Structure 1
Amino acid sequence: MHSALTNTSLHPLTLDGSTGEGGGQILRTGLALAMVTGRPLHITRIRAGRPKPGLMRQHLACVQAAVAVCGGQAEGAELGSQTLLFTPGAVRAGDYRFQIATAGSCLLVLQTVLPALMLADGESRVQLSGGTHNPMAPPFDFLERAFAPLVRRLGVGLDLQLQRRGFYPAGGGELLAHITPAALPLTPVDVLERGPLQDAWGEALVPGLARNIATRELDALGQRMGWTFESGRLRQPPTRQNEGPGNALIATLEYEHITEVFCQLGERGLSAEQVAKRLVDEVRDYQRSAGALGPHLADQWMLPLALAVWRSGRAARYTCTEVTQHTATNAQTIARGLPVRVQITPVDKAMLVEISPLLQAGLYRL
């Protein structure tokens, strides 16, 4: 696989929501790009690749959050809409509170507004309520341990505090994000190697459910990974008040240069042993590759790094285990919205992502 993506759009950012994997990521990345560049966003065929296309409640929450953060305007911001015209205003640092209906993911709303707030003119605090451990979305633990440390390496302060977990379908989770923009221009960083493994552990979350579910999951995980309770590598964190019901099995691998987090959610009809097997398969896939970032982190990291490349004029690179269709679609969207080139090439037992600036000064605000 080899692709080089460049930005050729000059005025409004026009996106086709059916491109590539055709999901909500195109909308979220598009909103973020519009806010940081000041370009209006016109997106059609929103989530055309999904069984229920158009804006669902959590996608509408992302639009509403973007409007609040920059004082923008949105036409077509209603449930089921497949067309949106978003006109951003000036991004404003401040204190924000966003409530996502039902168990919609808090983290996807944060993903939408974080790029703008990390380039704002002051600190921001964002209180989010909704889901923290959702299917098809990064869990809180992933953002706290894997994503946030990378963002901090750009010079941005990002502190995440979990106040209460919220599982699908009930929701009820609460988290706080404290965002401090970099004092100097964002500093791109290369992340090419993991470095030596320094620690690894698994934990089972079972608020509102029978404790033996956690015991079975951890036993199965420990047998496959060689982890034990005695070594501290198998853990069951305490439940916070009013959490659950829900179940998540999480593996954390701490390397010298990167921390990766993998998560499998329990679901009705899936045994504890099957949940553990799915998690181990995911970890083993990562361990077999030489890429520094796993598939989800490779996707999440691309936009913050591209912003640093754009603002600094310096190229940056990272390796990852694979480039999913989701990540490839995100790369295409970013290259349409920023004056950067995203190049993806296979290397030994990994993929190399290179983001470099284009010399198109004067086309963008900020």
Structure 2
Amino acid sequence: MITIDGSEGEGGGQVVRNACALSLVTGEAVRITDVRARRSKPGLMRQHVTAIEAACAIGGGECEGLTVGSSEVTFRPGRVTPGEYRFAVGTAGSTGLVLQTVLMPLLLAGAPSRLMLEGGTHNFGAPPFDFIDRVFLPITNRMGPRVDAKLVRHGFYPRGAGRIEVEIEPAPLRQIEGLARGAALGVSACALFAGLPFSIAEREIAVVRKDLGWSERESYVRELPEDQGPGNILLLEARFEQATEVVSGFGRLGVTAESLARQACARMRGYLACDAFAGPYLADQLLLPMAVAGGGAFTTVKPSEHARTAAAVIERFTGKRTSFVQQEGGEHLVTVA
């Protein structure tokens, strides 16, 4: 059994998700201590419990300590069974993070699967659906499998009640390299809102047009039905021949529309200013499929502690080491081998 100290490195929920996914892929049982020890509210939250429950369901696994607030869990995997599954977080907890836990095992299963995930789709602290659909899954599909995701209903914090549907056609993962993102194809900005004043989204788009110089054609406001709110997110997208980046700013109490937009614009400028293939969040998520594929390489901006923590967990299960080497242009070459 592998034992992982959940307080090491970034010390968040990613340790739990990656450990359960890798446990199912490798067949190795895992014990995680000091779960989310570096968070303001340590221990498992509802979305982490749902993610582990999902891992148990698809893999015939068993888990000790599976309660909200638990600081130690032991996961014993069984055999992954493809099929049709529905998992509901029950809060605004992220559907995308639940998907991260079960996706790799189902990509290697012997038959297609269909998932219905209910909860948050656009909430702070997790990749929004748009990032998963337009940034991460296209790279995953390039590795061999076919994954199609559909957003049925938006789910914002604190209400949740969103739903996504995912179709998975499994295939062996092949190694790829993402060293250059290619020529620029276009940019867009969307201020998405529901059950809130229209002026909030207008102010966000005004900042985008001023800070990034994007035109009216490239930046717009979209209002959702009021019953899907209240909620607000600003999505900035940059498309290239080989990669796409989506930067998001989440509307929250106490954060002005202008502040949210300026922070998002600064992050997008940072990505556009270098030649890296992957932004920081895509870099985090590429490590797991590349390790399962047996290796791979890509360039990214400065690696986060999140990515380095993921690399450490992955090495414990697979023996694959990840190197982060800064290049002359400022970007980093990440190699999994």
User: Which range, TM-score by smaller chain?
Assistant: over 0.9
Query: Which residue is equivalent to 2:274?
Result: 289
Letter in 2 for 1:138: P
Cα offset, 1:268, TM superposition: 1.7
* 2:262 aligned residue (277, 300, 323): 277
| 1:341 paired residue number | 321
SS at structure 1 position matched to 2:333: strand
Mapped contact 1:319–1:352 kept (Cα < 8 A):
yes
| Residues 239-288 of structure 1: CA deviation (Å, up to 9, x unaligned) | 25731110000100000110000000111222221121111111111122
CA distance in structure 1 between the partners assigned to 2:149 and 2:221 by the alignment: 21
Moved over 6 A (4+): none
Where does 1:1-366 land on structure 2 (aligned, <5 Å)? 12-182=1-171, 185-229=172-216, 232-240=217-225, 242-309=227-294, 315-348=295-328, 349-356=330-337
Find the residue that maps to 2:209 and give its secondary structure: helix
- Partner Cα distance (2:71, 2:255) in 1: 34
By relative contact order (CA 8 Å, sep 6+), the higher-ranking structure is 1
Partner Cα distance (1:211, 1:176) in 2: 29
Give the gaps of 5 or more residues in structure 1. Answer: 1-11, 310-314, 357-366
In structure 1, what is the Cα distance between the partners aligned to 2:121 and 2:146? 21
RMSD of equivalent CA atoms: 1.1
SS of corresponding position for 1:206: strand
Question: Per-residue deviation at 1:101?
Answer: 2.0
Name the CA distance, whole Å, in 1 between partners of 2:42 and 2:259: 31
8 A contact 1:164–1:241 mirrored in 2: no
Counterpart of 1:31, as a letter, is C
Deviation string, structure 1 residues 15-67 (Cα, Å, up to 9, x no partner): 11011011111010000000001111111111111122111111111111110
Runs of at least 5 residues in structure 2 that lack an aligned partner in the other structure: none
Q: Identity over aligned residues, as a percent? A: 42
Q: Distance in 1 between matches of 2:291 and 2:112?
A: 21
Letter in 2 for 1:298: A
TM-score by length of 1: 0.90
TM-score normalised according to structure 2 size: 0.97
Give the counterpart letter for 2:311 in structure 1: A
Q: SS of the residue aligned with 2:167?
A: strand
